[in-house]
Amino acid sequence: MQAARVPKTTKQREMWLRTGYVTFAVAALLTVVFAHPSKPLAKPDLKYRHQLPGTQRQKSLSPLRFRADGTFHISIFEDLHFGENAWDAWGPQQDVQSVKVINTVLDSEPDIDLVVLNGDLITGDNTFLENSTDYVDQIVRPFAERGLTWASTYGNHDNHFNISGAHILAREKRWANSRTTQMVPSPDGDDVGVSNYYLPVYPADCTPDDPPSALSPCPPKLLLWFFDSRGGFRYQQRNRTTNALLPLPNWVDARVVNWFRQTTTTLTHTPPTKHTDTQSRPSPFVHIPPLPPSRTPPSPRHPPRTRPARGLDDDGPLARQAQGVVRGRDTRRGV
């Protein structure tokens, strides 16, 4: 490339410099506009994923409480699957229609105390690395506009090569009304899952401690548990030999079960007070359903059940946790 000659006169130098600054500014603008979409998202440190920004518990949100009439209203949305086939006309239009449905439900139920997003918020199979979590904003904006708070579990379609539960959580935490968090550290990356946590719901007539304490005069009356059933595929990982995507186990990890048992013991061993005539009732949310107890083969430890499990026994065709996983290879996707 031939070197540019600098003009000799002062007027020529000023014009040359001015032209150079304009050219540089336009080039910089074009770089930002056209180069930014191809810039990959920062890959989270798998070893310290539980320390990602936004994964800490929200301190600014008021505790969940029962109403004065003793009720607590939850509105549940599941399998919204935003971002499906974004390259076709019907894909984005489907998201528009989903937002309309969400708004219709919220408008018809004005007394909602909590919204639950119970997995598969996004069709990660179809998302691009550059904007895979942008769909979270479309989903939660109707809640935020009404001053509602929400809590999420993540499903098998929320984990894929270009998206992960950790990234969705970080995106959710940009919104002040999100109660989604991560209480079980995941030192091995995706293996434990992300959306494992609980939310206490307190009586209307007492002031709770934060965090809940067994010695508190105001223990929770209801515990909402959220479990990550995982599934899908590992973020930005492939088999080095075959280049195939690496599947995630599609069940709640045993370490999460141990955490649940230990935490339950801590929270429910509460001295009797005027608010603790009964134990806190657990209410779990999980995306991929477990095998209903009525279908579990009887054993000395688990005698046969004659009464069906409400909800689980009503959905016969659904794939259950651990279904289709053979020798670490996912042969059948979850729901």
Query: Residues 134, 209: contact at Cβ < 8 Å?
Result: no
Residue 248's contacts (CB-CB under 8 Å, 6 or more residues apart) are 156, 159, 190, 191, 230, 231, 232, 233, 234, 330
Q: For 221-233, how does the pLDDT look when each residue is reduced to its tens digit (9 = 90+)?
A: 899 999 999 999 9
CATH number for position 200? 3.60.21
Asked if the structure places residue 91 within a domain, the reply is: yes
Q: What is the number of domains present in the chain?
A: 1
Q: For 19-30, how does the pLDDT look when each residue is reduced to its tens digit (9 = 90+)?
A: 333 322 222 222
Q: What is the reported pLDDT for 141?
A: 97
Tell me how far apart the alpha carbons of residues 320 and 313 are, in angstroms, rounded to a whole number: 11
Asked if the structure places residue 191 within a domain, the reply is: yes
Which residue range is the domain that position 104 belongs to?
A: 74-270+280-286
Asked if the structure places residue 65 within a domain, the reply is: no
Asked if the structure places residue 129 within a domain, the reply is: yes
Q: Which of 280, 309, 278 is nearest to 293 (CA)?
A: 309
Asked if the structure places residue 318 within a domain, the reply is: no
Q: What is the reported pLDDT for 324?
A: 54
Q: What is the reported pLDDT for 29?
A: 27
Q: pTM of the full predicted structure?
A: 0.72
Asked if the structure places residue 78 within a domain, the reply is: yes
Q: What is the reported pLDDT for 276?
A: 43
Q: For 140-154, how does the pLDDT look when each residue is reduced to its tens digit (9 = 90+)?
A: 999 999 999 999 999
Q: For 93-117, how does the pLDDT look when each residue is reduced to its tens digit (9 = 90+)?
A: 999 999 999 999 999 998 999 999 9
For the segment 58-72, the average pLDDT, to the nearest whole number, is 87
Q: What is the reported pLDDT for 192?
A: 92
Asked if the structure places residue 300 within a domain, the reply is: no
- Give helix 135-145 / helix 90-108 axis angle, nearest 10°: 20
Asked if the structure places residue 123 within a domain, the reply is: yes
Q: What is the reported pLDDT for 24?
A: 28
